[in-house]
Amino acid sequence: MIQVEHLVKKFGLRTAVDDVSFEVGKGTVLGVLGPNGAGKTTTIRMIAGYLPPTAGTVAVNGIDVAADPVAAQKQMGYMPENTPLYDEMTVAGFLGFLAELRGFSGKERDRRVDAILEKCMLAKVRHQTIDTLSKGYRRRTSLAQALLHDPAVLLLDEPTEGLDPNQKQVVRDMINEMAPDKIILLSTHVLEEVEALCSRALIISEGRLKADSAPADLKKRSASYNALTVELLAPRAEALQAFGRIPDVERVEFVAGDDRKQVLRLVPRDRQSLAVGAVETAARHKWMVTEMRSDPGRLDEVFRQITTTADVVKQSA
Ligand SMILES: Nc1ncnc2c1ncn2[C@@H]1O[C@H](COP(=O)(O)OP(=O)(O)OP(=O)(O)O)[C@@H](O)[C@H]1O
Ligand SMILES: [Mg+2]
């Protein structure tokens, strides 16, 4: 369990993290989203025990991170945004060195290093020095060091950033596979990744926590949520008129069609569900519906909505 209470970080006069509180339990993949400079990395660094908070506390499995960072860090693996790797070391040498720091030696150290090289697909670069690695391989070496001691808590700051599409998928699969037994907190700018990986998402903007819910629930705040696309065999003008009369329909948009088949988009008032009304209307007119789908909402719309409101308020003030 991670408990973050009233966390604040100030750099001089700038407040980078402003009174952030949340709790996460085992089995959760928590996505941390927010624009550049929102305070994601700063928050993660404080949880990881690499940056002292100005105020507030972080506890990991009951251990206060500021009071006992060494004990807390035993429970955590941290993949930083910019990896401070030891350039002159080989990949295997670096991981072996870190394994020693984590308290593994001899056969156990070698076993762990071999396993993690395999898992992160680094075996073929194991003897290469870190300064000669490509960006993606450096990121994977950074991920490998975070996983070395099989920690209960993983903090991953943009884990798939800079990886090629195949490697992105490999890392996502790894995260999904590890998810049930761990707490995984990851930051990302890739919203599809949030939908594919995260059971819960935080949106941070200007240091403040603006949203905390399941991605599917966040999407319901989207303006397009529950808009209904109906494909049917009907005369266009009559269909536009009839669907426009459904009480919860704000407007009907013509998407495509010919003299037989129409594709219409029904936009609801207050995100109401329109399926029943649409089916009844079609049945009454004996129009055959060939397809119908309601919009699940869009995370990018909600993200924009939530992270730009503050600017709007500021400008009008
Ligand atoms: N060591 C520091 N000294 C001064 N200001 C800092 C320091 N670290 C971060 N900041 C500032 O704190 C704010 C939050 O930065 P942070 O790196 O946490 O953002 P982020 O959400 O991770 O952004 P990105 O998406 O670009 O990674 C920014 O305004 C940044 O300039
Ligand atoms: Mg960052």
**Average pLDDT across the chain, whole number:** 94
Q: Residues 131, 10: one domain?
A: yes
Question: What whole-number distance in Å separates Cα of residue 34 and Cα of residue 283?
Answer: 45
Q: CATH number of the domain that 209 lies in?
A: 3.40.50.300
Q: Among residues 159, 96, 169, 84, which one has the least CA distance to residue 127?
A: 96
Q: Residues 105, 206: one domain?
A: yes
pLDDT band at 309 (very low <50, low <70, confident <90, very high): low
Question: What whole-number distance in Å separates Cα of residue 226 and Cα of residue 294?
Answer: 5
Residues 6+ apart with CB under 8 A from 127: 90, 91, 92
Q: Residues 233, 272: one domain?
A: yes
Does position 313 have pLDDT exceeding 50, yes or no?
no
Does position 84 have pLDDT exceeding 80, yes or no?
no
Q: Residues 66, 185: one domain?
A: yes
Q: Residues 38, 168: one domain?
A: yes
Q: Residues 7, 153: one domain?
A: yes
Residue with the bigger pLDDT between 120 and 82: it is 120
Is 67 a domain residue?
Answer: yes
Does position 234 have pLDDT exceeding 70, yes or no?
yes
**Edge-to-edge, what's the strand order for the sheet holding 261-268?**
249-257, 261-268, 228-233, 288-294
Q: Give the pLDDT confidence score for residue 107 in this predicted structure.
A: 96
Q: Among residues 150, 154, 204, which one has the least CA distance to residue 28?
A: 154
Is 301 a domain residue?
Answer: no
Residue with the bigger pLDDT between 316 and 118: it is 118
Q: Give the pLDDT confidence score for residue 223 in this predicted structure.
A: 87
- To test the pocket of ligand 1, the residue of 9, 17, 18, 41 to mutate (highest count of ligand atoms within 8 Å of its CB) is 41
Is 310 a domain residue?
Answer: no
Q: Residues 232, 212: one domain?
A: no
Is 314 a domain residue?
Answer: no
Q: Residues 139, 24: one domain?
A: yes
How many independent structural domains does the chain possess? 2
For 101-127, write each residue's pLDDT tens digit: 999 999 999 999 999 999 999 999 999
Q: Give the pLDDT confidence score for residue 314 in this predicted structure.
A: 42
Alpha carbon of 191 to ligand 2 centroid (Å): 15
CB 171 within 8 A of CB 142: no
Helices (H), 148-246: 165-178, 191-197, 215-219, 236-244
- To test the pocket of ligand 1, the residue of 8, 42, 155 to mutate (highest count of ligand atoms within 8 Å of its CB) is 42
Ligand 1 contacts (CB < 6 A) are 11, 14, 16, 34, 36-42, 81
Looking from the CA of residue 9, the nearest atom of ligand 1 is 12
Is 240 a domain residue?
Answer: yes
Does position 85 have pLDDT exceeding 50, yes or no?
yes
Q: Residues 45, 88: one domain?
A: yes
Question: What whole-number distance in Å separates Cα of residue 308 and Cα of residue 304?
Answer: 6
Q: CATH number of the domain that 241 lies in?
A: 3.30.70.2750
For 15-59, write each residue's pLDDT tens digit: 999 999 999 999 999 999 999 999 999 999 999 999 999 999 999
Residues 6+ apart with CB under 8 A from 212: 22, 200, 201, 202, 203
Alpha carbon of 15 to ligand 1 centroid (Å): 10
Q: Give the pLDDT confidence score for residue 86 in this predicted structure.
A: 85
Whole-structure pTM value: 0.89
Q: How many CB atoms lie within 10 A of CB 86?
A: 13
Is 317 a domain residue?
Answer: no
Taking phi over 0 as left and psi of -120 to 50 as alpha, with beta for the rest, 2 belongs to: beta
Does position 7 have pLDDT exceeding 50, yes or no?
yes
Alpha carbon of 25 to ligand 2 centroid (Å): 23
Taking phi over 0 as left and psi of -120 to 50 as alpha, with beta for the rest, 158 belongs to: left
Is 138 a domain residue?
Answer: yes
Range of the domain at 273: 228-294
**Edge-to-edge, what's the strand order for the sheet holding 76-79?**
76-79, 153-157, 183-187, 29-33, 200-205, 208-213
Alpha carbon of 34 to ligand 2 centroid (Å): 9
Q: Residues 85, 122: one domain?
A: yes
Q: Residues 123, 173: one domain?
A: yes
Is 284 a domain residue?
Answer: yes
Q: Residues 98, 32: one domain?
A: yes
Looking from the CA of residue 40, the nearest atom of ligand 1 is 21
Q: Give the pLDDT confidence score for residue 255 in this predicted structure.
A: 97
Question: What whole-number distance in Å separates Cα of residue 94 and Cα of residue 104?
Answer: 14
